[in-house]
Structure formats: C-alpha cells, structure tokens
Structure 1
Amino acid sequence: MENNNIFWSHIKRNRLPYLMGFALLSISSILQLIIPWLLGRFTDSLQAGGLTYDKAVRFGVWMIAAGFGIAFFRSVSRIYLFRLSRQLEMRVRGELFVHWEKLSAQYFNNRRIGDLMSHAISDVGVIREVTMSGYFNVMEAVFLIVVSVAAMTSSVNPWLTLLTMLPLPLLSLLAYRFNKRIMQQSADMQSAISDLTSRVQEFTAGIRIVKAFVQEKAERELFTQDNRRAVEMNRRYVRSNSLFGALSAGIVGLSFLVSVVLGGIMVLKDIITLGEFVAFNTYLSLLMGPIESLGRVVNLLQRGKASELRLLEIFNTQPDVVDDVVAKPEIQTIGGEIEIRDLTFSYPEAKRPSLRNVSLKVPKGSSLAIAGRVGSGKSTLAHLLVRLYNPPKGTVFIDGHDIHEIPLRTLRGQIGIVPQDQFLFSSTIRDNIGFDPKPYSDEQVVEAAKIAQVYENIVEFPDQFDTALGERGISLSGGQRQRVSIARAVIKKPSVLIFDDSLSAVDTITEDLILEGLESVMDRRTTIIIGHRISSVQSADQIVVMDEGRIVERGNHEQLLAGGGIYADMYHKQLLDQEAKREDGQERHTAASQLMRGGAGA
C-alpha cells in the first residue's frame, strides 16, 4: 500500500482493467447519443409530413437496438468496474490486518477495539463505495458531458448550447462551499460509529460484571447517549447532503428553463427546427442525470477522503518492534542462556522507569524465579525477553547474542510464554492448545493438556477437545483458562519457558500437580517463573526479588528466608494466611458436624 494515496495506487495497479471498463462505458455513452438524434429526425419527418409507416418502424427498430446496446455495454462495464472495487476492498482490508500484525503492543494499548473495527469495516466500506459508484459515475458523467456538448454544439446550435450550460459552473462553486463541511461531518459520523461499536464491545465483554453489579440501567443510558450521538451525526451529514442535492437540482432546473425558453424562441424564429429542439432537450436530459450524480459523487468523494486519511494514518504508523538491521538470519535456534546487563527500561510516555539497573544471569537449562510485589517490574522483564517492547541495546543477551541480533521469528518461536491475562480465542480447546504455525497431533495435544492438569476437565465436556469456547474463553473458569494457556506454551517444547504468574488462579493442590507435571518439561530447558505465591517459586535454582523495578534480593529459597527481607516477609504472611484458612475450614467442619448431630437427635 502506497503511503500517500490508496485510490491512486489502486488505479495505477489496475490501469488496464480500468481502461477496458472506461472503453465499455464510452460505447454505452455513445449509443445513448443515438436516441436524441433519432428523435430529432423522427420529429422533423413528422412535421414535414414525410413520415411513412416503414420509416416509423425503422426509427423504432433503431431505438430498440440502441436501447439494448446501451443496457448491454453499461451492465458489462458496471460489472467490470464494480469487481475492481471489491478487489480493492479485499486488498485494503487484508493489508490493514497484516499491518496491524506488524505493529507493537504499545499501539494497541492506546486504541479502542471499536475504533479498529470501524476502520476495518466502515472506512474500508466507504473506500469500496467510492471506487464502485464514485468512479463509475465520474467516468460516465465526464465522457457523456463532453460528447453531449459536442453533439449539441455541432448538430443544433452553439449559442443555445453555451447559454444553457452557463448555470452549470455554479455546481463547482457549490461543491467547493460544501467540501469541508461534508468531509468534517463524515469524520464525525465515523467517530460516532466507532464510539457506538466500542460501547457494544465493552458491554458484551463485561456482561458478567454488568449483571453482578446491577448496572444494566447505567449501561443502557450510556448506550443511548452514544446511539443518539451516532444518529445526530448521521442526520447532520444527511441534511448537508440533501441540501447540496436540492441546490444542485435547482441549478440543473435553471439550465432546463434556459433551454426551453430560448430553444422555443429559436424554433419560432426558424433558427432551429422543431426536431433539433427535441433532440437538444433530449441531449440535455441525458446530460442532467450524470451532472446531478456528480453532486452526489462529490459528497461521496469527501467521505472517501476522510476514510482514506484515517486508513493512511494507520498505514503510515511504523512498527516499533521489527527485526533490527543487526539481526543475523543464520540464528535459527537458541539454547537458552540468558544474561541481563544493567537494564533500565521505561514504557513509552511513562514518567519513571519500570526497571532500574537490573543485572542477572540464567545458565542454560536452569530455572529462575522472580518474586515481588505488584508493580515491581516482574512482567516487564518477561515482555522484554520476547521483545514485545524493545530493550536498550547491549542490555539483554541470549546465548551471548544481543537480543536485537536474533530474528523475531526465531526468538518468539523458541520461547514459550504463559501470559498473565490467559487470553483464549473463541475457537475450540484443541485449536487454543495447538496455537502454533506448525500442526500438532491429537496425542501431542492430549499430552500437553495432561501436563497442565487440565485434561480431566476437558474430557468432562460433551465435545471434549472440540468444545467451542466463548469470547476470550469465557466458558472456562479462570483456573481452566490458565491451565489451557500453560498447555499452549508446553506443546511447543521451546528452549525457554516463561510462566508469568500463571498459577495464581489454581488451588495449592492443583499447583503442586502442575509443577510436578512440568518437571519433565522444564528438564534441560531454561525456565523463568514469575509469581507472588512462594509455593510456585521456591523450587527454582535461583530466586530474585524485585521492588520498584530493582532487584533487591537474590539467592535460593533457604538463603532468602535466612536473609529476613521481603521474600521472608512474603513467605511468613502467606504461611499465616494458609494457617488461618485451614483453621477456618476446621471450624466450619466442626459446626457442620454439630448441626448434623443435632438434627439426628431431633
């Protein structure tokens, strides 16, 4: 996609098909000019008294033939040109999706889903409409106007033609006056549609929260506001469009008035014949349709320009994370030795760094646990290791290579990550577990599900692994989503495994089973476990504790407990919480037993 003009790049790419479509349309327009000429000859013959039955039949046959020719060539040209517009729609939407895939995570953090959907559906639809109706009407109008004016001038009277055409330049002035207004109103209308789409998307995604907090009325009012705004923006656009159309029709009517009055006077003074007068007004009738359509096309082109600018803004947005110029294509695999040297990193537009002077080394095949409070920078470290964001050069190394030297396809293909949000697609469980460019067998999918301790849950569903999930996997519980995400990472058998707080939604018994199942997978693989629950990190070869973006403690479980710092404090608090839960459970069990004994005694 050229970065300056979507329409022009489309025309250049399809110049020959457009020339063919224009040629077919031109034939149709030329055939239309035969009918006024025939009507003029017919009228003159009738007035002179020389019209015979045979002549009348011949006139009728020629008109019917011309009508069929017009219908055939016009239909073929429309099919030809409309097919090109559908091809543009498919290509632009496809290129838009591919470009979105290239953009970094930061881009989507600052965009609403409704806006993106509006670009992909509404804006691309306007682009298609411009190239379909717009181009067709413009080409037809331009050619028909030129040949009609030439025919009117040469075959009837040049002065009558000139005087009749005088009001028509007012259409250009009118289009100029409405230009900015229609373009701005089109942009406002698309913005309102984006807001409405975002409102519906947020409501459907958060329907459980809405119902749990009894917010149906509030959501209905918010939707009504956005809906009314969308209607109002559309009304403003329709009012301007209708006013433009009405004024355009008035100007065209003025041309007809000039034609009838002056043409009638010329007939009475024998300057032109009655047949020429009929032919002239028939030419003018043929001309007025395309001229009026030009007014509508001007509005459509303004909408198209507004949509094009929004799409070009996306296409001109360069991805932040791409293969660096120093990337080495020969690096096809990674072993898993990770080293971080004095890493300081800030998110775009952040006021303070998320990571400060972080340095650590993870030998190949060993395990690292990262613990710490919420917001201490743990997940940021995982994001940088898969280059969702770009770390500064010379700070992150894998197998001795600066991470910028490793192609993104190799880096992300060799790292399996279980993210914090456990996003699942609305397809089947099988598709979610086997979410990878290479296909997996049913045995591999089952094995990964068993390792993640989600197999028993899956086989309880009627369709088992073919169970279709709802939006974002909402039909599964939080713990089940986490375990499917773990299976999705495990099945890749990557060189590096990253678990970003991926056991927070499961109970401690399931957690122990998952960790036990992962032992064989983690063997001889570099593993990074991020978590706030000590039970999930205590078995790691080394543990680092982060606070406010810095590593404040490091060592193994016993060393950190002996140090009496943040890690030890977290451990003792969690131990007390577990003890309190255990005592609470025992009290409930005792109360229930007493209640049952009391009931039995009664």
Structure 2
Amino acid sequence: MGRKHILWGHIKEHRYAYAFGFALLSISCALQLVIPILLGTFTDRLELGELTYGEAATIAVWMMAAGFGVALFRSTGRIYLFRLSRVLDMRIRDDLFKHWEKLSTHYFKNQRVGDLMSYAISDVSVIRDVTMSGIFNSLEAVVLITITVVAMVTAVDPLLTFLTMLPLPLLSILAYRFNRRIQKESAGVQEAIGDLTSRVQEFIAGIRVVKAFVQEREQSRLFRRDNEHAVAMNRRLVKSNSLFGALSSGVVGVSFLVSVVLGGIMVLRGRITLGEFVAFNSYLSLLMGPIENLGKVANTMQRGKASENRLLAILNTEPDVADDSCADASIRGIEGDIVIRNLTFRYPEAHEPALRDISLRVPKGTSLAIVGRVGSGKSTLVHLLVRLYNPPKGTVFLDGRDIHDIPLNVLRGGIGIVPQDQFLFSTTIRDNIGFDPKPYGDDDIERAAKVAQVYDNIVEFPNQFQTALGERGVSLSGGQRQRVSIARAIIKKPSILIFDDSLSAVDTETEDRILEGLKDVMEDRTTIIIGHRISSVQSADQIVVLEEGAIVERGDHESLLALNGIYADMYHKQLLDEVGERHGREWDDAGGEPTGAGRGAAGGGRAG
C-alpha cells in the first residue's frame, strides 16, 4: 500500500519535538498579553492623575522584560521548528533518490530529466516552506488568537469582543474560495519550472549539436517561450495570492473599524475605561498579524498539497523490476550457465513483440555472438538477462534456476555489461573504471585499462588516471569512452560478460588488440557479444542471427558461411568494404589512380 501523506507522517514521527516547540511558542504568546495589560494600567493611572514616576518606571521595566521574553522564546521556538523542517527536507530528497534507484529503466524512458530535477528541488522546497512558515505561523496563530480572545472577553467586554470578531469568519470563506485556484496554479508553476529545467538541461547536454547546426537562435527562442510561460504562471499565482491578501486585510480593517467606533462609544458611556479601550485595541493589534498569517498559511498549504501530490505520485510508483517473493536469499553468486526457452517478449508500450519464440543454450564458459540488423532485438535479449526488463517467468534460466528466483543484486553483481551508450560519470577515469561496490587497487585499475587497450591513452593525460572527465565523459573520444566502459566491465571479474556493440567506435586494428587481450579474460567465463562487424564475432563458439525478433540462423562461423544466408551476406559485404578501404589507402600512399580491382571493391563496398 502506497503512502498517503508526507507531512503528517513527519509530524507524527517527531511529535514530541513539535510539542516542545509548541510549548516555547505558547510561552511567547502568553508573554505578549502582558504588554496590553500594562498599557491599560498605565492609561488608567494617567487618566486619574495617580501615576507616579516610580510606577511609570516599573511599568516600563516590565514591558521591556516582557518584550525580551517574547523575543527569546519566539526565536528559540522558531529555530527549533525550522530545524525539523530541514530534517524533512533532507529526508524527502533521500527517499526520493532511493526510490528512483529502485525504479526500472522503463520509468525513466517516459520522464524528462528537467521534471525529475524539479521534483527534487522545487517541490521539496515548497513542502519545506510548509513545515517552516506554515506550521510555525499556524501554531502561533492558534495559541495567540485563543488566549487573546479569552483575555478580551474576560478583561474588557464580551459584547465588544463578539462584534469585533464578527467579520473575521469571512477569512475562512475567502480561504475556501481560493483553495482550489491556488492549488491548481501552484501545480502549474511547478510544471512550468520542470519545462524550463528540461529545456536548459537538454541545451547543455546537446551544446555541440546546437553549435554544429547553428541552432543558437532557435534554441534561444524556445528557451524564451518556456521562460515567458514560467513567468506567466508565476504571475497568475502571485495575482491570486495578492488578491487573497488584500481581501484578508480588508476584513481585518473592518474589525478595527468596529473596535474604534463601538469601543469609543462604550468609553464615552462609561461602560469601559479608557485603559480598557487601549488594552482592547492592543489585543486586537496582536490578533491582526496571526489572522493575516492564516491567510498566507492557507496559500502555503495549498501549494504544499500540490507539491505533495506530485511527490506522492512518484513515491507510490511501484518498480516494474524488483525481487520477487520467490527470490532465494541464500543464493550468493552465479556461475554462468544460460538457458532460454520459448522466450517471447513485448515492451509495455509496444503492439508487436520485440522477441519471438527464442530458445538457446549458452553453457558455462562458452561464448555466444548475436548479429542482426538494427531493431532485430539484439539488445533486448541482453537487457532481459540482467532484468532491466522482466522476462516472462519460465523462459530464462541461470544455473538451472529461473532468473526471477535470483536476487537482483546477485544477478547484476555477477554480470559485467558494456552497454551501447558508453555512459561515463563526470568524475575521474579511475573512479569510472572502478565503478563497483568492491574497492580496487591501482594495479587492478591499470590492468583492466591495458586489457581494454586504453592505458596508453590515459597515461598521456597530465593527470593520467586522476583526469576528471566532463559531463558524460565528453572530454574523451567515442573510442576511448568505449574502452573505458570495457575496462569497467572486466575489472569486476564477472561470471558473465556482455559486450553490446562495444567495439563499433574503434578501428579494426584496435579491435584486434582488444579481442586478443580479452581472450584471457573470457576464458572460463560465459561471454555474449553483440556486434555488427563479423570480425568481432566470428570466433564465438556459437552465433545466432536475429531477424524481426526471431532466430533465423544459428551455428559457428564456418557453418553459417556455408548456409549462404543473412550472415554470409553480411560477411561478404564487409569483406568488400575492407578491400575497398585497403585499396583506397594504397591509392593515397601512391598518389595515383586506384586499380580496377580497387575501384570495383570500393564500389561494391558502397553498394553494400
């Protein structure tokens, strides 16, 4: 069952701390009543001509002491309650981040980065404001209004108090009328901030493409549009808040008018003394601040409710991929024997299956290569092996166990994968290679870099392995990013190694060196290689060719060539391309025309 509240759960958990802060505020509010009493006494003594210098000095000292006490207890209570709001602030962001870590990749495919950043920064800040100014002002208003009204009734006149308070219930009506309006506009502001943040994030991430295609003016126009929309949404919210505040002040002004007119008449008729009149208006002055703050609190609460609903929608989202109830906690590792039986898989948003009736066996310590055209389902198959998506139960097995029976941390900890996008973090090269819960020494880092054929590039940098990378590793070339990703996968010494088209950005000579270095790493480990180059997959123990999500050919390199099907066609076209490139280099070196064979090969390569 999902969460229903964020604020209430926090208050309930820290109820004793809030009770202590409430006690401090109550003392502060009680001390504020001393000043009107002293002012009333001073006025009456002065009117009767009985005030002495000693009495005046005593009253002044007591007023100063009361003011000091109010400041001391109010500020202490404020600091104490505001500290609790910072605890909530930290806790929400921590819970949000941990929950994001649990959610599957499918969730993030449907979310914009700017929106997620807006949740973690803007919405959390709104809720923090609720627990800071909202709770503080609410507690102060409740206590001060209650004890002040009691004092006005008992110490001055019940009828005058009743008539003066009569307009104030209009504030509740106003708050109710503005309730949904402010909540809706607040949600609109948060969405506009999300749009604006997404625009900035996308622009910064794609700055190279923007400049290469001379799109600065268009990007500026789009940013200006989102910025103006955010300003317009904020103006609507400010307009509603200002209107609510103005109407609230008008209601308060009516109460003051009633107090002055009726109170003055009562003084003239002798029903109350001048001192009681002064004290009554001082009491009323004490009420005006809290009453006006209640209007602000109502607005803050509505904004907080809108932000809380947005955050609850995330926190109550169940992960698509999680440990099943049948997961065996006693499993500590995997060996790498893979069996797939009649696997058919469809993405949640797709109408057609991405994989159709896949069945294959990859014994422990052997290698499997997967080739096929773009969109044939190659990456989908390995994503199911690491459960980035859930395969149907009873279709994928590791070491004789259904993959759903293996805890996720054990499954993924035993698999090293080099993904297509070669994502690197904006930290040092060393930290990127050693990206694993297990700590690695410098020798391990360097050994992995040498196997991945990136060591020589790294030592050429001034700071070598301590070189800080830019956003997503942008300071490295595409081939260097791929090789660092390979080093990151092999350093953990997994039972299963997966290379998802991870050699596409390196030249053939570097590819040969990487494959040669990987021989020792791949020995006794189950290895899956996805590639478009036949040279990177031809030495695999078995090769499968996927077409529209189904296995259409399988075998080793020689047997697939003998079939003279899709695999053979890919092989011959790539062979022609390589011959064309070689003759092209010979032509460049000779400075003359290519041979006829060179022209034919080059032409064949282009046609392929």
- TM-score for both structures, normalised by structure 1: 0.98
1:19 CA drift (Å): 0.2
Check conservation: 1:156, 1:280, Cα contact below 8 A.
yes
One-letter identity of the residue aligned with 2:277: F
Secondary structure at 1:244 match in 2: helix
Structure 2 residue 590 is matched with structure 1 residue 590: yes
Look up the equivalent residue of 1:35 and give its one-letter code: I
- Distance in 1 separating the partners of 2:32 and 2:268: 28
Deviation at 1:444, TM superposition (A): 0.2
Contact 2:327 2:405 (C-alpha < 8 Å) held by counterparts: yes
User: Shift of the alpha carbon at 1:583?
Assistant: 2.2
Please state if 1:74 is matched with 2:47. Answer: no
1:2 and 1:149 map into 2 onto residues whose CA distance is 42
The equivalent residue for 1:301 is 301
Question: What displacement does 1:331 show?
Answer: 1.0
The aligned residue for residue 49 of structure 1 is 49
- The separation in 2 between residues aligned to 1:224 and 1:586, in whole angstroms, is 53
User: CA 1:592 to 1:272, structure 2 compared with 1: closer, same or farther past 3 Å?
Assistant: farther
**CA positional deviation for 1:582:** 1.9
Q: Distance in 2 between matches of 1:212 and 1:564?
A: 43
Question: Equivalent residue for 2:423?
Answer: 423
Summarize deviations over 1:1-31 as a string: whole Å, max 9, x none.
9700101100110000000000000000000
1:267 is matched by which residue type in structure 2? Answer: V
CA deviation string 1:181-207 (max 9, x = no partner): 111110111000000000000000000
Question: In structure 1, what residue type is equivalent to 2:456?
Answer: E
Q: State the distance in 2 between where 1:466 and 1:493 align.
A: 23
Rounded Cα–Cα distance in structure 1 between residues aligned with 2:505 and 2:108? 26
Matched residue SS, 1:10? helix
Task: Report the counterpart of residue 160 of structure 2 in structure 1.
Answer: 160
Aligned residue number for residue 601 of structure 2:
none
Distance in 1, Cα, partners of 2:129 & 2:497: 48
SS at the partner of 2:214? coil
1:505 alignment partner, SS class: coil
2:497, 2:339 → 1: CA distance? 15
Partner of 1:253: 253
Structure 1 equivalent of residue 108 of structure 2: 108
- Alpha-carbon shift at residue 584 of structure 1 (Å): 2.2
Per-residue CA distance 1:504-533 (angstroms, 9 max, x = gap): 000000000000000000000000001111
2:565 alignment counterpart: 565
Query: For residue 277 of structure 1, what is the aligned residue in structure 2?
Result: 277
CA–CA distance in structure 2, aligned partners of residues 282 and 137 of structure 1: 20
Q: Is the 8 A contact 2:499 2:530 kept in 1?
A: yes
The aligned counterpart of 2:179 is: 179
Correspondences of 1:496-535 after superposition (within 5 Å): 496-535=496-535
Gaps of 5+ in 2: 595-608
The one-character-per-residue Cα deviations of 1:403-426 (angstroms, maximum 9, x if unpaired) are 001111110000000011100011
| Cα separation, 1, equivalents of 2:488 and 2:574 | 29
Render the CA deviation track for 1:331-387: whole Å, top value 9, x for unaligned: 111110000000000111111000000000001000000011100000001100000
> Deviation string for 1:127-171 (max 9, x for gaps)?
101000100000000110000000000000000000000110000
AA paired with 1:42?
F
Q: Please name the residue that 1:119 is paired with.
A: 119
Aligned-pair Cα RMSD in Å: 1.1
3-state DSSP class of the match of 1:497? strand
Q: 1:317 Cα shift?
A: 0.3
Tell me the CA shift for residue 88 of structure 1: 0.2
Structure 1's 47 and 423: CA in aligned 2 closer, same or farther, altered over 3 A?
Answer: same
After TM superposition, the structure 1 = structure 2 runs for residues 352-363 of structure 1, keeping only pairs within 5 Å, are: 352-363=352-363
Question: CA separation in 2, counterparts of 1:190 and 1:247?
Answer: 26
Q: Does 1:575 align with 2:575?
A: yes
- 2:21 aligned partner: 21
Contact 1:339/1:360 (8 A) holds in 2: yes
- CA distance in structure 2 between the aligned counterparts of 1:97 and 1:557, rounded to whole angstroms: 46
1:363–1:526 contact (8 Å) kept in structure 2: yes
In structure 2, the partner of 1:432 is 432
Residue deviations 1:277-308 (CA, integer Å, cap 9, x gap): 00000000000001001111111100000000
Number of residue equivalences: 594
Q: Distance in 2 between matches of 1:515 and 1:330?
A: 36
Task: Give the distance between the partners of 2:200 and 2:592, measured in 1 at CA.
Answer: 46
Determine the structure 2 residue equivalent to 1:377. 377
Q: Secondary structure at the match of 2:33?
A: helix
Q: Contact (CA 8 Å) 1:2, 1:9: kept in 2 or not?
A: no
Measure, in 2, the Cα distance between the counterparts of 1:322 and 1:214: 44
Query: Any idea what the Cα deviations from partners look like across 1:455-488, whole Å, max 9, x if unmatched?
Result: 0011111111111111111111110000000000
Q: Give the distance between the partners of 2:104 and 2:39, measured in 1 at CA.
A: 66
1:368–1:529 Cα contact (<8 Å) kept: yes
SS of the residue 1:504 aligns to: coil
* 2:2–2:316 Cα contact (<8 Å) kept: no
Cα deviation, 1:484-504, whole Å, max 9, x if unaligned, reads 000000000000000000000
Q: Distance in 1 between matches of 2:194 and 2:503?
A: 37
Given that 1:164 and 1:255 are in contact with CA atoms closer than 8 Å, whether structure 2 keeps it comes out as yes
Amino acid paired to 2:168: L
Distance 1:72 1:583 in 2: 88
585-594 or 55-64, which deviates more: 585-594
Take 1:424 and 1:231, find their aligned partners in 2: how far apart are those partners?
A: 36
The answer (yes or no) to whether the contact 1:96–1:120 under 8 Å persists in 2 is yes
The alpha-carbon deviation at position 590 of structure 1 amounts to 2.6
Alignment-derived partner of residue 38 in structure 2: 38
Query: Which residue does 1:486 correspond to in 2?
Result: 486
Equivalent pair of 2:363/2:526 in contact (CA under 8 Å):
yes
Query: Is the Cα–Cα contact under 8 Å of residues 587 and 593 in structure 2 kept in the other structure?
Result: no
SS of equivalent to 1:540: coil
Distance, in Å, in 1 between the alignment partners of 2:271 and 2:294 is 32
Q: Aligned with 2:422: secondary structure?
A: coil
Measured in 2, the distance between the counterparts of 1:185 and 1:370 equals 52
User: CA offset at residue 552 of structure 1?
Assistant: 0.4
Partner secondary structure for residue 277 of structure 1? helix
Deviations 1:80-99 (CA, angstroms, capped at 9, x unpaired)? 00000000000010000000
CA distance in 1, matches of 2:324, 2:503: 34
Structure 2 residue aligned with 1:7? 7
Cα distance in 2 for partners of 1:36, 1:575 equals 98
Residues 267-416 of structure 1 mapped to structure 2, 5 A cutoff = 267-416=267-416
Q: Counterpart of 2:41 in structure 1: which amino acid?
A: R
Q: Do the aligned residues in 2 keep the contact of 1:416 with 1:497 (CA within 8 Å)?
A: yes
Match of 1:599?
none
Distance of 1:323 and 1:317 partners within structure 2: 16
1:234-249 correspondence runs (5 A): 234-249=234-249
| 2-structure distance, mates of 1:252, 1:581 | 86
1:523 partner letter: E
Q: Equivalent residue of 1:79, what SS?
A: helix
The alpha-carbon deviation at position 581 of structure 1 amounts to 1.8
Post-superposition CA distance 1:242-276 (Å, at most 9, x none): 11111111110110000000001100001100000
The 8 Å contact of residues 345 and 392 in structure 2, kept in 1 or not, is answered as: yes
Matches of 1:531 and 1:375, distance apart in 2: 13
